[in-house]
Amino acid sequence: MRTYIVGNWKLNFTVGEASIYLHKIMKSLPNYRDIQVIVAPPMMALQPLSLQVDRHKVKLCAQNAFYRDYGAFTGETSFSQLRGAVDYCLVGHSERRYIFHEDDKVIAKKVAAAIRNKITPILCIGETESERAFGETADVIRDQLASGLSEVSDDDVSKVIIAYEPVWAISSVKSAKLATPDEVAEVIKLIKTSLGDIYGAKVVDEIPVLFGGSVGPSNAGGYLTVPGVDGLLAGGASLILSEFVDIINVAKRVRS
């Protein structure tokens, strides 16, 4: 299975800055067959960057989209409008869940809409600090996983990527703490087991599972050696060229 390195740029960079930065990333990378590099620019930059990107080196990912294909939904961008411009879309990111109050039903509809429009959804799941403190991690992970995939058929579930991103470990959270490889391994095992219980052991091997949470060059190698981790989702580090390229190079060394 490929190793996925995803950079979420969040609400950063103008269209011009995003174009320059993407150019620098592509210039810094060879063509890796076994490493899939993905970047998620702000929505306004996606269309011009889709004309610029060398898809042999980098794939584009939307940070969000609406689950209806068309209609009277002022201010929204649908998956159908993104079709052809991006190959991936983040769904259920903790900032969408907790800042914009997207519930499980909305997230499930978005996962289904992405697949319907031939865009690979990266379904983000993860517990908060208080949920972990109260021993609710397993229940939260199972619930978010089952609800997020509830509108996906058995035939299509292998078209989804899962990203475990504990909210308490995201660098933008003031009280963020680094997750240890053992803590990550415990949840990755839980995710794989839950997928197996729902869809069968064969499907588990077809669904990539990523880890995200204050990922940087210094800890990327440790996370990538965790059994079952098929890649990384980086936030702040993906905004710094040297750090993002270092993460990609670490992935190449670890997986060689």
- The residues assigned a catalytic role are 93, 165
Torsion of CA 104, 182, 157, 146, to 10 degrees: -30
Residues linked to residue 3 through DSSP beta bridges, in sequence order: 35
Q: What is the DSSP letter of 90?
A: E
Quickly count: other Cβ atoms within 10 Å of residue 56's Cβ. 11
- Picking from 126, 224, 131, 218, the residue whose alpha carbon sits closest to that of residue 169 is 126
Amino acid residing at 201 = A
What the block records as the tokens of 19 is 């174009």
25 close to 53: Cβ distance less than 8 angstroms: no
